[in-house]
Amino acid sequence: MSSLFPNYGRWPISIVKGEGNYLWDDQGKRYLDLVSGIAVTSLGNVPPKVKAKLQEQIDTLWHCSNLFNIPQQEALADKLVSISCGDRAFFCNSGAEANEAAIKLARRYAQRVLNEDRYEVITFTQSFHGRTLATLTATGQDKVKDGFSPLPEGFKTVPYNDGKALRGAITDKTIAIMLEMVQGEGGVNPADPAFVEEIKALCAEHNLLIIVDEVQTGIGRTGKWFAYQHYDVEPDIITMAKGLGSGFPIGAIVGKEKLAQAFGPGTHGTTFGGNPLAATAGLATLETIAEDGYIQKVNEMGEYLRTQLEGLKASHPTIVEVRGKGLLVGMEMDGPVGDVVATLREEGILLLMAGPNVIRILPPFTITKEEIDEAVQALARVLDQTYAARG
């Protein structure tokens, strides 16, 4: 019997080694990694440049706490501000914590800067914002809330991509609208540009904040530094985590200057956030993406992957839709995809699901056309077998 809580539905594989676009299990079997640790290891497994910077930092200093100035954290903040529309950064350790910080920042801005009794955050169906009590309440999926009542007040969920429903949900208590520009866990659903326009109009009308959850979409994953940059919108707060540290745990928010007063000394914090090791991982990741032109590669490989999958769709009517941006790609089928994902895993190709009917593909930015071809050919074969067997 395992000494672990059984809270994860784990795959029956023990991964012991990673290099580039591949992982190896304890039996020596090799897997093509189109999951990237759920959009985390964007530069592949154990990327050499990040490894070198981390090794140097390991020899120098690991942790000193936010009692001190941390030069690496300052440098990472400068970098994040330079690639986004934000002016100030705060560092934490995960996506849920980044969203928690964003929610706290929005509430405190309303209550201590605007001096208004507003606290409500509106979120959307099929969203995913994390597993803390506040962020699971913000999440638009009932399964993550089951058995955890009482849930905190101040959240309301309305249908995604439905401007009318959103307009009807705003009250004099609303302070922020929080959304993923491409919903990751909820099925790889991009926001409609018209919906984003409606959000902008409503935020201007009611003096609301726009919080974009870029925990999965951020740091180049969709072919821009942040997914909101595909749209004509400037969020007030951007949250991020997964792809920021190449596997070293780090989360962050970046926000507009007007919010700075709401997070004065002592208002919010965390022991580990942005420590020298974590900040080094973040900095090395961002520098490598910029220096080696990975944003461009994400666009090229993303387009190639989607084109190949569209080709597959033409000959496989069981494929309903191919969607996504950059290397966050979803393929919706007309039935459950669990078998397909499991069979491909046995064949040495790792893919993910996003809900029961959607195959989610999150390759590292280092993926090659040959590897995409190999995966798509295997997918075609497995789809044929699976659907032939089902009749």
Ligand X SMILES: *Cc1c(COP(=O)(O)O)cnc(C)c1O
- Residue ranges binding ligand X (CB under 6 A): 94-96, 99, 128-130, 180, 184-185, 213, 215-216, 241-242
Instruction: Tell me the C-alpha to C-alpha distance, in Å, between residue 342 and each of 35, 217, 333, 388.
Output: 13, 25, 15, 17
Q: SS3 of 201, please?
A: helix
Q: Smaller CB distance to ligand X: residue 216 or 288?
A: 216
Q: Smaller CB distance to ligand X: residue 242 or 306?
A: 242
Q: Are strands 209-213 and 237-240 parallel, antiparallel or unpaired?
A: parallel
Q: Smaller CB distance to ligand X: residue 182 or 301?
A: 182
Burial 272-310 (b: 16+ CB within 10 A, else e): bbbbbbbbbbbbbbbbbbeeeebbebbbebbebbbebbe
Q: How far is the CB of 131 from ligand X (least distance, A)?
A: 6
Of the candidates 210, 183, 192, 240, the one whose C-alpha atom is nearest the C-alpha of residue 105 is: 210
Distance, in Å, from the CA atom of 193 to the CA atom of 216, rounded to the nearest integer, reads 19
Distance, in Å, from the CA atom of 225 to the CA atom of 227, rounded to the nearest integer, reads 7
Burial (CB count <10 Å: 0-12, 13-18, 19+), residue 109 = buried
Q: Smaller CB distance to ligand X: residue 278 or 382?
A: 278
Q: How far is the CB of 94 from ligand X (least distance, A)?
A: 4
Residue 9 phi/psi, 5° resolution?
-90, 90
Instruction: Tell me the C-alpha to C-alpha distance, in Å, between residue 170 and each of 47, 58, 195, 214.
Output: 45, 49, 15, 23
Q: How far is the CB of 48 from ligand X (least distance, A)?
A: 25
Amino acid at 25: D
Q: Smaller CB distance to ligand X: residue 44 or 245?
A: 245
Q: How far is the CB of 249 from ligand X (least distance, A)?
A: 8
Indicate the residue whose CB is closest to ligand X. Answer: 95
Q: SS3 of 295, please?
A: helix
Q: Smaller CB distance to ligand X: residue 213 or 236?
A: 213
Q: Smaller CB distance to ligand X: residue 108 or 242?
A: 242
Q: How far is the CB of 372 from ligand X (least distance, A)?
A: 23
Q: Smaller CB distance to ligand X: residue 130 or 154?
A: 130
Q: Smaller CB distance to ligand X: residue 96 or 202?
A: 96
Q: How far is the CB of 130 from ligand X (least distance, A)?
A: 4
Q: How far is the CB of 73 from ligand X (least distance, A)?
A: 19
Tokens of 174: 């609303």
Sheet of 328-333: strand order equals 319-325, 328-333, 358-361, 352-353
Q: How far is the CB of 259 from ligand X (least distance, A)?
A: 20
Q: How far is the CB of 184 from ligand X (least distance, A)?
A: 4
- The DSSP annotation for 332-343 comes to EESS--HHHHHH
Q: How far is the CB of 386 from ligand X (least distance, A)?
A: 27
Cα dihedral 31, 33, 35, 40, rounded to 10, equals 130
Q: Smaller CB distance to ligand X: residue 94 or 189?
A: 94
Q: Which residues contact 70 (CB under 8 A, 6 or more apart)?
A: 64, 274, 275, 276, 279
Query: Residue 95 in contact with residue 106, Cβ under 8 Å?
Result: no
